[in-house]
């Protein structure tokens, strides 16, 4: 009689959005292995057409509830480029500072609430509240700080309102920045506690390596989330964001309502591990030490380690935020009332590193400042094909482990990418 | 009596309203003393078809989603629509100003005819099934969300505000956005959010929908005072309330 292994996960849990996993193997031969995305597409690129350049970021941040700051800022960068708006150094620094809050909030949410239950062998974070009270309390404090950091600079913690073309509708006071500085200093021990716990549990992450192409923004001397050129581990060339379509090469497949992408080879990966591989030389000292303590080095090709790279980045954004606040306070904050903006026809692209990886927006406007064209390429969209290739490499290695363990390893692999599936089917 | 069993589901949306549950931070632990979550795909691996209260986020854009929502409605004693996509269709309704074939072609190009990429005009949940309570906003206010769940768990009718956002700006002493020469929808939009958008340097986008009986005369006075016209309000309203007010360019 043949030995059959079936894994059928309908709507994988503890991820953002709807994804399915299908594995079927007969007598040790994989017949089918698929990462499917059945999420309802929302058609943001089509429906933002006709909206004014002054409200594009307000519409487009709603692509994603977890990375709305990333979408808002990528949209603003593209809009400002298209309409010819220059922003001040102070605005640029305040945006970069604000954006650190989203990385912290999102990474803590992912590592502590979504991934940690797998490492502890439970269904959710709820049992951890009683089994690991100290580290859960630390995670809640760090998560709350990420949120309040975003709220202080973005006006709200989800779908920011303070970011406007040309600057800020409301900018913080020096007192608020000093308060944020004190709170960032105070969160460091919490992040260390989280890092220590992850270090103690890291041996439970599957040992699976599959080298692929890794893509991230790159900026000399900076572990960047905001500025830079598009870099790849497959090429020494750096591509300007203006040409992002040459990187993403989006295409449609039958197993997914989200588009897939490919660049130098069949698939590529984006996210914390890609950023770490390309930019780890520029980490701040404590983040670099955290990486060493967690056994993460730039040669790592284990996708499960993306969550570990997120822990390193949580420390990095706090250190970088402290540095940014010092610069802003030393120079002194000055009021920057918004200028009256005039519509203009034009076209432009913008990119940021969302918590889940590089994110691209492009818009064109007519002379009345109304949007005529839009194109958005999402980090998770860029990871879908890579998850499929990881599945194809992983599946033959786990056939002997039984359904429950095979299922867990496949689910954990998807979770490691921290997918934002509804984002990818914008 | 045991704790009410709560299940959380989502349809076409950004899942930002579910995130507000997580954003309750330590207060979630208090809510867990009142209700028992039995299914919440985004945060728990538990599954259950037995629940008392279904909290549903997102709007309906496909036949298969309509069917799934009807199933949830059948199993739930109470159904709560969570957030603008669920209560009024949200930004997803901007799509309804466009031709459905055209939006598919614009986004998916030559592949647009593939059956899994089908879409229908966006509907709010109450355009498909009976909705018992609506928690408004894009995203919802986590304070209001907590209050509604606490009320229902204790058998008290939740109070959903029915006064305009302007009331809350006055209470917060926020300078009116019209003073900055901007058009703000606070005059006709349902409050209850504590008006974070005008205070944060934006304007009210109308994400909580209109109050039940908007004071049109007062809105007209504001328009007159600041040299604005109802057409300016209409353009802004398109984002969350009346997509018919804009036309979508054909590609």
Looking at this predicted complex, what is its ipTM?
0.95
Residues of B in contact with A171 (CB under 8 A): 201
3-state SS string for A148-199: HHHHHHHCCCCCCCCEECCEECCCCCHHHHHHHHHHHHHHHHHHHHHHHHHH
**What pLDDT was estimated at residue B247?**
56
Q: Band the pLDDT of B248: cuts 50, 70, 90.
A: low
Nearest CA in chain B to A422: B14
Q: Band the pLDDT of B177: cuts 50, 70, 90.
A: very high
Per-residue model confidence as pLDDT tens digits over A200-238:
999 999 999 999 999 999 999 999 999 999 999 999 999
Q: How far is B146 from chain A (nearest CA, A)?
A: 17
Nearest CA in chain A to B247: A50
Contact B211, B189 (CB under 8 A): yes
The CATH architecture to which A44-424 belongs is Orthogonal Bundle (1.10)
- Per-residue pLDDT for B251 more than 60? no
Q: Is B17 on the interface with A (CB under 8 A)?
A: yes
- Per-residue pLDDT for B175 more than 70? yes
Write the residue in B32, B61, B202 that is nearest to A40 by C-beta: B61
- Per-residue pLDDT for B235 more than 90? no
**What pLDDT was estimated at residue A227?**
98
Per-residue model confidence as pLDDT tens digits over B41-75:
999 999 999 999 999 999 999 999 999 999 999 99
Chain mean pLDDT for chain B = 93
**What pLDDT was estimated at residue B245?**
47
Contact A162, A169 (CB under 8 A): yes
Q: What percent of chain B has pLDDT over 90?
A: 86
Q: Which of residues 74-113 of A touch B (CB under 8 A)?
A: 109, 113
> Cα–Cα distance between B142 and B154 in angstroms, integer?
18
**Could you write out the DSSP letters of every residue in A210-234?**
---EEEEEEBTTB--SSS-EEEETT
**What pLDDT was estimated at residue A230?**
98
Contact A205, A298 (CB under 8 A): no
List, by residue range, all CATH 1.10.645.10 domains of chain A. 44-424
Write the residue in B43, B98, B247 that is nearest to A46 by C-beta: B98
- Output the pTM of the full model: 0.97
Q: How far is B214 from chain A (nearest CA, A)?
A: 24
Residues of A in contact with B43 (CB under 8 A): 13-14, 113-114, 124-125
Helix (H) or strand (E) holding A412: helix A402-416
- Per-residue pLDDT for B246 more than 60? no
Helix (H) or strand (E) holding A57: helix A56-60
Q: Which residues of chain A have pLDDT under 50?
A: none
- Structural domains for chain B: 5-153 (3.40.50.700), 165-244 (no CATH)
**What pLDDT was estimated at residue B243?**
52
Q: How far is CA B248 from its chain centroid?
A: 22
A vs B, Cβ pairs < 8 A, gives 182
Q: How far is B229 from chain A (nearest CA, A)?
A: 17
Probe site for chain B from A114, A161, A253, A338 (most B CB atoms < 10 A): A161
Per-residue model confidence as pLDDT tens digits over A326-356:
999 999 999 999 999 999 999 999 999 999 9
- Per-residue pLDDT for B249 more than 70? no
Q: Band the pLDDT of B100: cuts 50, 70, 90.
A: very high
């Amino acid at each position: 009689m043949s030995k059959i292994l079936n894994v059928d996960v309908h709507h994988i849990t503890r991820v953002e959005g709807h994804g399915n996993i299908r594995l079927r193997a007969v007598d040790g031969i994989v017949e089918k292995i698929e990462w499917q995305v059945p999420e309802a597409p929302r058609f943001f690129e089509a429906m933002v057409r006709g909206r004014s350049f002054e409200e594009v970021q307000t519409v487009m941040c709603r692509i994603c509830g977890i990375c709305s700051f990333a979408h808002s800022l990528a949209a603003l960068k593209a809009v400002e480029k298209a309409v010819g708006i220059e922003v001040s150094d102070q605005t640029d620094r305040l945006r970069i500072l604000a954006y650190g809050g989203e990385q912290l909030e999102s990474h803590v949410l992912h590592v502590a609430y979504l991934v940690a239950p797998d490492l502890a062998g439970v269904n959710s974070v709820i049992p951890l509240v009683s089994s690991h009270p100290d580290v859960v309390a630390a995670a809640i404090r760090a998560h709350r700080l990420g949120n309040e950091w975003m709220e202080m600079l973005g006006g709200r913690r989800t779908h920011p309102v303070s970011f406007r073309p040309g600057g800020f509708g409301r900018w913080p006071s020096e007192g608020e920045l000093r308060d944020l500085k004190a709170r960032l200093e105070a969160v460091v021990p919490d992040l260390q506690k989280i890092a220590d716990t992850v270090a103690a549990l890291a041996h439970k992450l599957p040992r699976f390596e599959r080298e692929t192409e890794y893509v991230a923004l790159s900026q000399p001397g900076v572990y960047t989330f905001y500025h830079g050129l598009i870099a790849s581990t497959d090429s020494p060339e750096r591509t300007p964001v203006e040409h992002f379509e040459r990187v993403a090469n989006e295409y449609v497949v039958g197993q997914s309502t989200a588009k897939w992408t490919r660049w130098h080879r069949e698939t590529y990966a984006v996210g914390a591990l890609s950023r770490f591989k390309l930019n780890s030389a520029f980490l701040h000292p404590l983040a670099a030490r955290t990486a060493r303590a967690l056994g993460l080095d730039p040669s790592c090709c284990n996708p499960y380690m993306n969550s570990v790279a997120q822990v390193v980045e949580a420390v990095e954004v706090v250190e970088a935020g402290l540095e940014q606040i010092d610069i802003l306070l030393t120079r002194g904050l000055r009021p920057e009332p918004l200028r009256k903006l005039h519509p203009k026809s034009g076209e432009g692209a913008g990119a940021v590193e969302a918590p889940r990886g590089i994110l691209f927006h492009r818009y064109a406007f007519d002379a009345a400042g109304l949007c005529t064209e839009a194109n958005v390429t999402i980090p998770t969209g860029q990871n879908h094909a890579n998850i499929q290739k990881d599945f194809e490499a992983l599946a033959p290695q786990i056939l002997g482990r039984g359904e429950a363990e095979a299922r867990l390893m496949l689910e954990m692999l998807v979770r490691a990418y921290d997918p934002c599936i509804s984002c990818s089917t914008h | 009596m045991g704790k009410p069993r709560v299940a959380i589901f989502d349809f076409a949306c950004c899942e930002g309203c579910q995130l507000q549950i997580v954003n309750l931070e330590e207060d979630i632990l208090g809510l867990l003393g009142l209700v028992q979550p039995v299914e919440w795909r985004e945060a728990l691996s538990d599954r259950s078809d037995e629940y008392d209260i279904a909290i549903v986020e997102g709007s309906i854009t496909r036949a298969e989603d309509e069917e799934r929502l009807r199933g949830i409605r059948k199993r739930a004693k109470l159904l709560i629509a969570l957030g603008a996509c669920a209560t009024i269709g949200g930004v997803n309704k901007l799509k309804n100003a466009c031709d459905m074939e055209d939006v598919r072609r614009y986004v998916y190009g030559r592949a647009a005819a593939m059956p899994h990429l089908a879409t229908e005009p966006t509907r709010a949940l109450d355009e498909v099934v009976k909705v018992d309570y609506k928690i408004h906003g894009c995203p919802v206010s986590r304070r209001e969300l907590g209050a509604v769940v606490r009320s229902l768990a204790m058998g008290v009718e939740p109070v959903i505000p029915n006064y305009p956002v302007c009331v809350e700006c006055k209470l917060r002493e926020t300078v009116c956005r019209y003073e900055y020469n901007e058009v703000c929808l606070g005059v006709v939009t349902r409050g209850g959010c504590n008006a974070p958008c005008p205070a944060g340097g934006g304007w009210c986008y109308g994400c909580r929908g209109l109050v039940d009986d908007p004071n049109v005369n007062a809105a007209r006075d504001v328009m007159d005072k600041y040299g604005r016209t109802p057409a300016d309000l209409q353009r802004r309203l398109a984002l969350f309330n009346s997509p018919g007010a804009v036309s979508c360019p054909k590609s």
